[in-house]
Structure formats: C-alpha cells, structure tokens
Amino acid sequence: MIIDAHCDVLWKLWENDYDFHDSDLLRLNYKKWKKSDVKVQCFAIFVPDDVKEAAQYDVALEMVHIFFDRIIAPYDDVKFITSKEELISLAPHAKGAMLTLEGCHAIGHDLNKLKTLINMGVRAVGLTWNQANATCDGIEEKRGAGLSSFGEEVVDYLNEERIWTDVSHLSYQGFWDVMNRSQYPMASHSNVLELAGHPRNLDKDQLTALIKRKAWIGITFVPEFINGQTEAEWIEVLPHIDYILRMGGEDCLGFGSDFEGIDDIVKGLYDVNDFTAFVQQLIPRYGQRLVEKMSYVNFIDKFPRLR
Ligand SMILES: [Zn+2]
C-alpha cells in the first residue's frame, strides 16, 4: 500500500481534455491507478500563475468540480477521504482520493474562500507556490519575506481545523514562521538540499526542525530536486531517503510523487505503476517494516484531521 501526498492531475485535466479513465497522456489515470499499489492519492488544486488574479478562485473551484465529477463520481471504488477515520476504514478494494491546495494565491486575501475550500474537503494547504501572495513569499520571490498578518490568520485557522500546513514551495523565512506557528506542519514534495542544490529542497536545519516536530516529509520524484539535472534515475532517489533516515527521520518519511507537476522524467519512476515497482525495490534495502512506514504508516499516523 502506498499513499502519495502530491500530484497535479487536476491541473492537467483542467488544461487539457484528457480522459481521466484511461488517457495514455496521464501518468496517473484511473486504470493505471487501479492496477497500482497506490491506495490513497492526494490531488492538488494548483492554479497556474498565468491565470489572472480575479479568476484564480474560480479556477480553483473548477478544479474542485473536476475532482468530484471526473475522479470521484464515476467510480464506486474511489472514495473521497477527509479524515484519519476514513483513511483507516477504506475497504480493501477501494482507492482513496484527497484534495489539497498548492498555493494560497487562489484565495486572494479572503479567509472565507479558504474556509469554503476546507468545507469542500481540502486537507493540506500549501501557503504559496513559487511566487509571493497575500499569505507569504514563495521560494522564487527574491524579497524572501515570511508570513504576513493574513498568513498568520490562515495558519491559525488551519490549526483550529486540524489541517496540515504544507511548507513545500515556501520562502526560507516563511518556512521558519510556519514552524513557529503551525501545529500541523508538513512538507508534501521536497527533497534534501545538501544532495541537490535546488532551492525547492530543504536544508539540514529545516529537516532537523521537521524531524524534531515529527512532521511528515514527502520525498518527490522531480529530477532537478533529485540530482540537479533535468533527468534522473530512480536509484538516485535513495540517497535522499538515506539522508533523512540518518537524521532520525524514520517516522517522518513518505512520498509526494509530483506526477503531472513536471515534464522531466525520472527513469523507473515515470508513472504510478513504476511507483509500485519502486517501493518493491526498496524492501531488500530497508526491510518490510520501514518501507511500510514510508509508504503509508507515517502519513496515516500524522494525518491531523481525525474525523
Ligand atoms: Zn509543487
């Protein structure tokens, strides 16, 4: 069993007229998913940065509708997951689908918009994508500011609702501000900066802080975050896992594939079916129990929303 904390399938389906059921152009479609060991898939609402500000929230809602109309409604065996209770009680044959938000630019400066998204089932909220927004700066904003007053309000609200605050994509200062304020921090899709010097990765101090808080950390399959190049091999993911294990992160590790988030390919981790084979290949190296922790146990243990 695998839980994948991040993919951009909703974005792909919003931009293209692909059939979620079996389009070969998707690394995760229903048929591939069904065949795979991925039990629960998180689907990110990601509003691309070329959408005009006034339309961003509408686009987020369009993606929510795509999620319900094309991923949940057509399939009796795909269950919408909003709590730990639902995660644990998923039937053996069923798949779970969760909604997450990648970037609060989609809510502008309006907490009610976030409340609506949470009421619709969003269970992890990344405050930024790479740019700045009303809550915080993203990692590519050169100003590098941390949480705004509105951003603090957002984190407080997420705490009240027991929703994960996702630090992937945040500015460096934003990361520390969130660590100080969030009761439920996590990193949905980031690797180790010391091994691949991309600013989207987390440095040793950040990883130490996350591990100290027993926060969940999702290793991601983006070549640049693996080896700094535009191509990578699946085996190059392992040093990132090893590094976090050596730091004592056995209870924190997980996976956030970022399928559909990036066109660059990791050989041996092209799609959701490769993900199954990848996890199998980890067993001789790490042992069954540790692989289970990485694959799903840690995610379920740390999932903050109980019911
Ligand atoms: Zn991302």
The domain tally of the chain equals: 1
Distance 48 CA to ligand 1 centre (A): 11
Structure confidence at residue 248 (pLDDT)? 98
Cβ contacts of residue 8 below 8 Å, gap of 6+?
Answer: 44, 46, 102, 258, 259, 260, 261
Q: Are 270 and 233 in contact (CB under 8 A)?
A: no
- Report CA dihedral (216, 1, 228, 223) to the nearest 10 degrees: -140
Q: Residues 124, 102, 224, CA angle at the centre, nearest 5°? A: 115
Distance 170 CA to ligand 1 centre (A): 10
User: What count of residues does the chain have?
Assistant: 307
Cβ contacts of residue 229 below 8 Å, gap of 6+?
Answer: 223
Number of Cβ within 10 Å of residue 114's Cβ equals: 24
Cβ contacts of residue 277 below 8 Å, gap of 6+?
Answer: 268
Structure confidence at residue 235 (pLDDT)? 97
How far apart are alpha carbons 165 and 159 in whole angstroms? 8
Distance 64 CA to ligand 1 centre (A): 18
Own/partner long-range contacts of 25-31 (Cβ < 8 Å, ≥24 apart): 26/260, 27/259, 27/260, 27/270, 27/271, 27/272, 28/259, 28/260, 28/271, 28/272, 30/71, 30/74, 30/75, 30/78
161 falls within a domain: yes
Distance 174 CA to ligand 1 centre (A): 16
- Report CA dihedral (122, 126, 128, 130) to the nearest 10 degrees: -120
Distance 169 CA to ligand 1 centre (A): 7
160 falls within a domain: yes
Structure confidence at residue 171 (pLDDT)? 97
Structural element, H or E, at residue 2: strand 2-4
307 falls within a domain: no
Residue labelled with tokens 């209770």: 85
Residue segments in the chain with a per-residue pLDDT below the cut of 50? none
267 falls within a domain: yes
Distance 218 CA to ligand 1 centre (A): 11
The CATH number of residue 106's host domain is 3.20.20.140
**pLDDT tens, residue by residue, 129-158:** 999 999 999 999 999 999 999 999 999 999
Structure tokens at 199: 């600013």
Residue labelled with tokens 């509105």: 150
47 falls within a domain: yes
Distance 140 CA to ligand 1 centre (A): 12
Structure confidence at residue 24 (pLDDT)? 95
| Structural domain for 161, as ranges | 2-302
Distance 46 CA to ligand 1 centre (A): 8
Distance 49 CA to ligand 1 centre (A): 12
Distance 261 CA to ligand 1 centre (A): 7
Distance 258 CA to ligand 1 centre (A): 7
Distance 284 CA to ligand 1 centre (A): 30
Instruction: Outline where 195-237 has alpha helix (H).
Output: 204-212, 223-227
